[in-house]
Amino acid sequence: MDSRIWKLSLCCLGLCLHACQLFEPRGFIVSYETADQRFEQSMNWNDQHPLATLTSTESEYDLYAISDIHVGGTTNLDLFLDQALLRQPMAVFMAGDLTTGHTEDYQRFYAALPSQDSLNLFPVPGNHDLYFEGWKQYQQLFGSSVYSFSIKTPEASDLYICLDNSGGSLGAKQLEWLKQLLLNERSLYRYCILVNHNNWIRLRKMVATNPYVEELEVLLDLCLRHQVDMVISGHDHQRHTAVFGNIRFLTLDALSDSHPSPSYLVLNVSPDSIAYSFRDL
């Protein structure tokens, strides 16, 4: 064999082996557990661990959101957490791709987090978190990937819904749960914000976990009819915003150590509006 072909073959093999540490061919194509299975397990956990309402003594409050940390390393995550602990937002959303799915990366990620008593953390999984049978690690550490909670101020209460579309779809059972939640409870709240990993509005084609068009049409109609104010997502690694009807879509930058411009989202929720900005690390 020509030496150049041999060297090229070795190079390609090395790249494939490196890629498999991040993407796992089997998990890249289909998750080990279905969306319905993850939803059922999450609901069972929620029944035993109901979330308490958060209370703000002020009329306005701040929320932070991050995504696509891809631990690995925790340099950017540590910097963010230092700022969050200093400024004390009401809640921090972690919108998926927290890890690569490997057990050791889950352990490294969890070890970097402060206690729930010092910071209210609300994670959802991303597609990478399911690789290498990562759902088992996620559930062991965080319990549920689908849940809702509220934040109460002196004037009103706001509804926050965290969804699991890490495999590309909510699945039939989670979608029905969301329909019933919005139908029965949305009118009780001032604002309603959804958080998930895979972004609904995209600026570019992506290979991994694209949303199903039919499901996306149902979700958009559902959110329009029930006046959902905002949908927060990650996945794209590039922040952008879009407006569809009354809904504002915010897609986050990646917070991974390798990302050239890591940032996080800051929401200021007040009686008059939900203001947002992206804060660079």
At 48-71, the pLDDT tens digits run: 999 999 999 999 999 999 999 999
Structurally, how many domains does the chain consist of?
A: 2
Q: Is the pLDDT of residue 11 over 50?
A: no
Answer yes or no: is pLDDT of 36 > 90.
yes
Both 2 and 66 in one domain: the answer is no
Q: State whether 94 and 182 are in the same domain.
A: yes
Please name the residues in contact with 43: beta carbons below 8 A apart, sequence gap of 6 or more. 144, 146, 177
pLDDT value at position 15?
Answer: 36
Determine what percent of the chain is predicted with pLDDT higher than 90. 83
DSSP lists the bridge partners of residue 277 as: 266
The tokens for 76 are 């950017």
Same domain, 12 and 123: no
Q: pLDDT tens across 103-147, in order?
A: 999 999 999 999 989 999 999 999 999 999 999 999 999 999 999
Q: Do 36 and 155 belong to one domain? A: yes
What is each CA distance from 56 to 51, 151, 156, in whole angstroms?
16, 7, 10
When pLDDT is averaged across residues 70-98 and rounded to a whole number, the result is 97
pLDDT on residue 141: 97
* Segment (H or E) for 241: strand 240-244
Structure confidence at residue 204 (pLDDT):
74
- Tokens at residue 163, please? 């969804």
Note the pLDDT of residue 16: 41
Domain check: are 16 and 94 in the same one?
no
Q: Is 220 exposed, middle or buried (0-12, 13-18, 19+ CB in 10 A)?
A: middle
CA of residue 140 relative to chain centroid, distance: 17
129 and 206 within one domain? yes
* pLDDT for the residue numbered 245: 95
Residue 230, pLDDT above cutoff 70: yes
Whether residues 1 and 129 fall in one domain: no
In this predicted structure, what is the pLDDT of residue 19? 45
Average pLDDT, the chain: 91
The answer, yes or no, to whether residue 74 has pLDDT greater than 90, is yes
Q: What is the pLDDT of residue 7?
A: 36
Residues 11 and 78 in one domain: no
Whether residues 72 and 16 fall in one domain: no
Q: Please determine, for residue 260, whether its predicted confidence score (pLDDT) is greater than 70.
A: yes
The 3-class secondary structure across 93-129, one letter per residue, is EEECCCECCCHHHHHHHHHHCCCCCCCCEEEECCHHH
> Do 229 and 201 belong to one domain?
yes
- 66 forms beta bridges with 94
Average pLDDT of span 83-95: 98
**Is the domain of 178 the same as that of 125?**
yes
pLDDT higher than threshold 60 for residue 3: no
Q: What is the pTM of this model?
A: 0.91
List pLDDT tens digits, range 149-204: 999 999 999 999 999 999 999 999 999 999 999 999 999 999 999 999 999 988 77
Q: CATH number, domain at 225?
A: 3.60.21.10
Residue numbers of the domain that contains 43:
32-280
Which among 174, 188, 197 is positioned nearest to 251, based on CA atoms? 197
137 and 97 part of one domain? yes
pLDDT of res. 28:
67
